[in-house]
Structure 1
């Protein structure tokens, strides 16, 4: 760990220490029979406030920790999940902006000393601050509004620092608040995929590919890439209501509409573009009043190897297996079972039982209970799960699909999940 990371580690260490103190107090009150619902709620509110204060002031992987956790908070008990939902969802839209002079330096270094001439106007105040960069609103000389994404100048160095810090923070937090989640594994896999988000040229290529693949679809809006140089990416500006707002106050029609298009995006991305959106958290989507869904941020992508089975194809075949014997046969055919392994089919069926509910009916209502049951079921069957050899591409796509399903649960959307999957996956091949 780099020396410069020590102050950040000191800030992060206050999280598990604070949680530990509050849980000790809660344990003492419970032992004395004095732990009221109000006292328990107050303890969780203090914890959530501390998380927002500490994580919101940091960038890099630590901010990503907050974003992922804000999706997975639906696995928490209903009595306390609302506390974390409001605080942690704010991490998706709020972070401290970079110093204006440092932003101008990045623009000058990568677009040239006359960069201001590229725009009729440029707002120095960012409209959004993400974990590795921030977005400014600007207007091109021809009058078109654009979003100018500028990478934080120290993002790469902070990403290196954040690897150990993020794993540490997520492991400490989930071990106390949500022990069903493997915080270390989640954070490690997350950090492994973060480095590609620093490559804006690759992001521009992915965004352009998605725009081409969805250009004739009237239900989606993919902003056009106008310019990309170094750590700067200029895209067409899009409006719409942030999905986090739909989650908080949206109508039933808005929730179901957003859920339908998010589901379709997950399953149709690979057939249409050869890629799958790898970071489908609420901050990356906007819902228009006419029902269209805008898709943003193509930094984290799953890129599918051509002429190979899609990992989502595999996911569906596994979850559509009707009995233990069929499931074992499917897993063996797909290469999930090593030669010589003789698994317990019934326990393997239990491993996938809850997560497969969404594809067992024509329509399915996602909610927090479904996600909690899925995580708890996978945890209780984890020992048999260790006998499976999950391919790397499956793990990557599964994380993206898992985050997307987490958002569907936040939306409490009712969608034809099964049919959308079958529309795009060649299960008969």
Structure 2
């Protein structure tokens, strides 16, 4: 094993071990995974500091781990969630960039020795660093401001090398910050999907499809792909206020507007371009001064198979079921429940009544209390929920739905979620806005 890989293993392994050690030093405060009261605040502060220090310096799947935690920390009480919010917003928006030498090497290898001739100017200091690459501001030779996404040379190797350790760390950390979640399953699925994000040519095609589907839309701004070569993707530069900033300090009108547009993006992607944005964490969105939502990063998308029912339509049908018998019928029809499996329909209805609360109100207020109640319902109904199957082709879409709902809760947005969904699931959905905030 190379020294670098060994060093990464040691640092990664230190994360869950550090949590266990601090929990032990807490004098039996609570069982690990239930440390959610005020007396645990110092423990969470120490854990968050270590999380930022270790994950902020590593790339690949480890950064995705931080992004997931930064979304699901909403399930914690406000005093504790604020600890993770401060650290992990920084992790999303300000990961440590690689050197200018690395950037020059990748650009030269994938575009050519004269690559700088394509730009009127190029800033070697990274504007943002993400899980698999970093972004640089530049000016294209025709004067257009552009974002240049450069993939880390060893991103693929590190991604595969991090897999087992990431699953290990995710299990331990989610037991601390969100005990209702299955950290092992979440991490395993994440790693499989992240591998697809290494293909910048595929990302460019997805981005172009989104831009075409949302052309001239008054609510969204999708950056144009300017050029793609190997590990380099050049796109139109998108400004605006980061969604993470709106979460931390935005007014209610901004929160509601951003929440409505995020919902609209998730529901309207398949009707408009056959794709669903697969990574709706706060770092991928900007709110323009003109009210449009700028959408970034199309490496992870759900590709809809024509002639099949969209994932969000299935989600709505399940949650709009009027009674336990109708719910069972819908679940069996959608192949979430095998014909030979017998379950307690009443308990299942109670579970989906909790998760489907947004579709039972004209306006629904997303907040941490709803998310905690939903996850609590999943825990209480675990025995009956084990009878449900989950179609493999919906795993990525379901994760995207869950992350988007968690972001809505962090925004504390009040929006017409049900009606927004229904209008886009109509066979002939509209192409312009109905609700204006």
Q: TM-score, normalised by structure 1?
A: 0.95
Task: Compute the displacement of 1:2 (Å).
Answer: 8.0
Q: Aligned ranges for residues 37-48 of structure 1 at < 5 Å?
A: 40-48=40-48
Task: Compute the displacement of 1:238 (Å).
Answer: 1.2
Q: Aligned ranges for residues 280-295 of structure 1 at < 5 Å?
A: 280-295=280-295
The answer to which of 213-222 and 22-31 deviates more is 22-31
Answer whether contact 1:313 1:426 (CA < 8 A) is retained.
no
Where does residue 218 of structure 1 map in the other structure?
A: 218
Task: Compute the displacement of 1:94 (Å).
Answer: 1.7
Rounded to whole Å, the distance in 1 between the matches of 2:260 and 2:356 is 18
Q: Aligned ranges for residues 72-87 of structure 1 at < 5 Å?
A: 72-87=72-87
Task: Compute the displacement of 1:77 (Å).
Answer: 2.6
Task: Compute the displacement of 1:28 (Å).
Answer: 4.7
The answer to whether the aligner puts 1:6 opposite 2:6 as a matched pair is: yes
Task: Compute the displacement of 1:353 (Å).
Answer: 2.0
Rounded to whole Å, the distance in 2 between the matches of 1:167 and 1:387 is 25
Rounded to whole Å, the distance in 1 between the matches of 2:344 and 2:113 is 66
The answer to which of 17-26 and 62-71 deviates more is 17-26
Taking a change above 3 Å as real, the CA distance of residues 3 and 240 of structure 1, as seen in their structure-2 partners, is: same
Where does residue 258 of structure 2 map in the other structure?
A: 258
Rounded to whole Å, the distance in 2 between the matches of 1:15 and 1:29 is 20
Rounded to whole Å, the distance in 1 between the matches of 2:193 and 2:318 is 25
Where does residue 432 of structure 2 map in the other structure?
A: none
**When the two structures are aligned, how many residues end up with a matched partner?**
425
Rounded to whole Å, the distance in 1 between the matches of 2:30 and 2:153 is 48
Q: Aligned ranges for residues 18-29 of structure 1 at < 5 Å?
A: 18-28=18-28
Query: Can you give the 5+ residue segments of structure 2 that lack an aligned partner in the other structure?
Result: 429-437
Rounded to whole Å, the distance in 2 between the matches of 1:155 and 1:253 is 39
Rounded to whole Å, the distance in 1 between the matches of 2:388 and 2:25 is 41
Rounded to whole Å, the distance in 2 between the matches of 1:361 and 1:394 is 26
Rounded to whole Å, the distance in 2 between the matches of 1:4 and 1:411 is 39
The answer to whether the aligner puts 1:272 opposite 2:281 as a matched pair is: no
Where does residue 155 of structure 1 map in the other structure?
A: 155
Where does residue 408 of structure 2 map in the other structure?
A: 408
Taking a change above 3 Å as real, the CA distance of residues 365 and 38 of structure 1, as seen in their structure-2 partners, is: closer
The answer to whether the aligner puts 1:135 opposite 2:119 as a matched pair is: no
Answer whether contact 2:366 2:408 (CA < 8 A) is retained.
yes
Q: Aligned ranges for residues 53-202 of structure 1 at < 5 Å?
A: 53-202=53-202
Taking a change above 3 Å as real, the CA distance of residues 241 and 114 of structure 1, as seen in their structure-2 partners, is: same
Where does residue 372 of structure 1 map in the other structure?
A: 372
SS in 1 for 2:309: coil
Rounded to whole Å, the distance in 2 between the matches of 1:353 and 1:12 is 39
Where does residue 300 of structure 1 map in the other structure?
A: 300
Task: Compute the displacement of 1:313 (Å).
Answer: 0.8
SS in 2 for 1:198: coil
Query: Can you give the 5+ residue segments of structure 1 that lack an aligned partner in the other structure?
Result: none
Q: Deviations over 1:38-90 (max 9, x none)?
A: 75322211111111111111100011000011000011233311111111121
Answer whether contact 2:240 2:287 (CA < 8 A) is retained.
yes
Where does residue 356 of structure 2 map in the other structure?
A: 356
Q: TM-score, normalised by structure 2?
A: 0.94
Where does residue 433 of structure 2 map in the other structure?
A: none
Q: Aligned ranges for residues 320-339 of structure 1 at < 5 Å?
A: 320-339=320-339
Q: Deviations over 1:143-180 (max 9, x none)?
A: 11100000000001011011111101111111233211
Task: Compute the displacement of 1:347 (Å).
Answer: 1.7
Q: Deviations over 1:210-232 (max 9, x none)?
A: 00111131111000000001000
Rounded to whole Å, the distance in 2 between the matches of 1:83 and 1:156 is 31
Where does residue 389 of structure 1 map in the other structure?
A: 389
SS in 2 for 1:354: helix
Rounded to whole Å, the distance in 1 between the matches of 2:39 and 2:410 is 26
SS in 1 for 2:26: helix
Answer whether contact 1:336 1:389 (CA < 8 A) is retained.
yes
SS in 2 for 1:27: coil
SS in 2 for 1:338: coil
